[in-house]
Amino acid sequence: MTGIVYLVGAGPGDPGLITVKGLACLRQADIVVFDHLADARLVAEASPHAERISVPWQPDRQERINQILLEYARAGKTVVRLKGGDPFVFGRGGEETLFLAEHGIPFEIVPGVTAAVAVPAYAGIPLTHRGLASTIAIVTGHEDPAKPNSHIDWQALAAGIGTLVFYMGAKNLPSIVEHLIAHGKPAGTPVALIQWGTKPSQRTLVGTLADIVPRAQQAAFKPPVLIIVGDVVRLREQLNWFETKPLFGLRVLVTRSREQAGDLSGWLAAAGAEPVEVPLIRITDPDDWMPLDHVIDQLNTYDWLVFTSVNGVEKFFDRLFASGRDVRALSGLKIGVVGTATVERMRTYGTVADYHPVRFDADALVEGLGQSYTMRGARVLFPSADIARETVVTGLRALGAEVMPVVAYRTVSETTLPPAIMTMLEQGEIHVITFASPSTVKAFMHVIGESRALDLLSRVVVACMGPVTQQAAENAGMRVGIVPAEATIPALVHAIEEHYHASHRHRP
C-alpha cells in the first residue's frame, strides 16, 4: 500500500505561525523530513514514534530529498516534508511535487505563512497601506548578477509596484539597488533589511536606496535576509511591536521535562524571548504499579490525599481510572496540594483542593495543615516522585499523622547534553538558564560536571522557580540571580523581565 506525502509550510521561523492543518499533519506523520533551519520546537511536535530526518544543504540535496520521500511513501508511510515559509513560494515545492506525481505518489500541499507576509509584519511594516502602496511584487534576490540577461523586469518593478519584497537578496543587495535606481526608482525610497525574521534574533536595518548598501556592510547583515523596498517602510517607526517586547533578543535555556517545558516556553516566547528546550529530566512510570494500585484499593481508609506536583496528580488519576474508578472514589477524603498549577490540574479532573498554602512549597503545606486542621491520628496518602523530599512525610508525622508515601512516578536524569546546547553555553549564546526543581539542578551539574558547569554558568543568569530550587542551586555553588515571589511560571517570566528592566540592564 502506497503512503502519502504532505508538503507542509512551516512559516518563516516563529513555530507559532504554522497552520492548524500543518500541525495536525505533523503530529500524525510516520516520517518528518525537515531543513536545518526548522525550529526544534516545531519538529518536537511530531509523534515520539516518528522518524525525523534532517536534510542539511549539500550539492545533491534536492535529489536526496526526492529519493527519501519516494522511498518512505512506497513503504506505505505518512511522510511530512516540512518546509520553511510556503512550499510554493521560492521553496522548490513545485519540483518535489512534480517528482512525486511522475512516480505516482499521492501528495497534498499544506500552504504556509510565507516570509514575504510574516517577516515585514514582525518588523512593523505593512505590505500595503492606503495612500502608500496598493501593489506588491515578490522577487527572488538570488539571481546571478553576472548573467547577461536578467529574467526580472526591473523597469516594471521600479515604476509600477508599490512595495517590493526580495527573497535571498543579501549578497546581491548592491546589484538590486543599482538596477532599481537605474530604472527610475528614486534614490530616497525607503528600504528595510530584516534578518532572521519572526525569531527573537530578528534584526532590522532601515535606510534608503541611496545608503542601504554601506549601512548593511557596516552592520554586517548576512543571510537569511528579506529586503523590503517602498514607502510602507516609513510606518515601522510607529508599528514596531515585536522588537520592543520586554524579553526580545533574550535566549533562555528551559531545563524542565519535555512534558512540562511547553508552558514555560510559551510564556517566554510571548514576552519576546527565544526559549531553548533541553529537558534534563524525564518523568517515567514506577518500576512497579502494585504499591500505588494497592493504596487506591484502600482509599476509603484514608483521611487526606496530598499532592506536591502536577506529575503526582496525573499519575494518580491515571491509575485511579485504570482501576475502573472515578473521582467518586475520593468521597470523604480531604485534599491538600502545593502550587497553583497543581490546583488547576486537580480541577481538570473535577476535584477541588481543600487546602493549598499561599507559599508554594512543602514546608508551607505542612505548616498550614498543622494550623488549620487536626492532623493527629489522620491517615494521609502521599503519591509522589521516587526522589521526593522528606518534608511532607516527616513534617506530618511530627504532627501525629500516619503518612503513607507511595511512588507515583520516577524522575530520571538525562546523561548527556546535546552538542548544540554545549556550544551555545560555551560561546555565551545562552543568557538565562531556568531551573524549576532541585532535580533539574542536580541533573545539570551531573551532566556537565561540577567545575565545568559552574564555569559555564558564570556567564549566564540563573533563574530558580521557588526558594527550594534556589537553595539547591546555591548548595551546588551556583550564583542565583532571579527568584520570583511566587513559584509559578508567570511569576518566573515576570521576574526575568524585572531583572532586565532594573538598573538599566541591556538586553543582548
Under the banding of pLDDT at 50, 70 and 90, the label for residue 487 is confident
pLDDT tens for 176-213 read 999 999 999 999 999 999 999 999 889 999 999 999 99
pLDDT tens digits for range 123-133: 999 999 999 99
Concatenating the DSSP letter of every residue in 341-356 gives: HHHHHHHHTT---SB-
Q: Among candidates 411, 398, 408, 399, which has minimal Cα distance to 373? A: 399
117-239 and 285-412 in the same fold = no
Tell me the mean pLDDT in the region 152-177: 94
3-state secondary structure 416-447: CCCHHHHHHHHCCCCCEEEECCHHHHHHHHHH
Query: Mind listing the pLDDT tens digit for each residue in 47-85?
Result: 989 999 999 877 888 999 999 999 999 999 999 999 999
Q: Give the homologous superfamily in CATH for domain 4-113.
A: Tetrapyrrole methylase, N-terminal domain (3.40.1010.10)
Q: How far is C-alpha 251 from the chain's CA centre? A: 11
Domain boundaries, the chain: 4-113, 117-239, 251-280+414-504, 285-412
User: How many CB atoms within 10 Å of residue 262?
Assistant: 16
Q: Quote the CA–CA distance of 83 and 62 in Å, as a whole number.
A: 13
- CATH code reported for the domain at 251-280+414-504: 3.40.50.10090
Average pLDDT, integer, range 484-491: 87
pLDDT tens-digit map of 4-40: 999 999 999 999 999 999 999 999 999 999 987 788 8
**2 contacts 105 by C-beta, under 8 angstroms:** yes
Q: ∠ at Cα 91 (87, 92), nearest 5°? A: 100
Which residue would you say has higher pLDDT here, 86 or 413? 86
- The CATH architecture of the domain made up of 285-412 is 3-Layer(aba) Sandwich (3.40)
Task: Give the percent of the chain with pLDDT over 90.
Answer: 70
Please provide the average confidence, as pLDDT, over all residues in the chain: 91
Give pTM, 2 decimals. 0.80
Cell of 173: 543587495
Q: What angle do CA 424, 123, 420 make, to 5 degrees?
A: 15
* CATH class, range 117-239: alpha beta
pLDDT tens-digit readout, 96-128: 999 999 999 999 999 999 999 999 999 999 999
Per-residue pLDDT tens digits for 251-280:
999 987 766 667 888 899 999 999 998 888
Q: Is 465 helix (H, G, I), strand (E, B) or coil?
A: coil
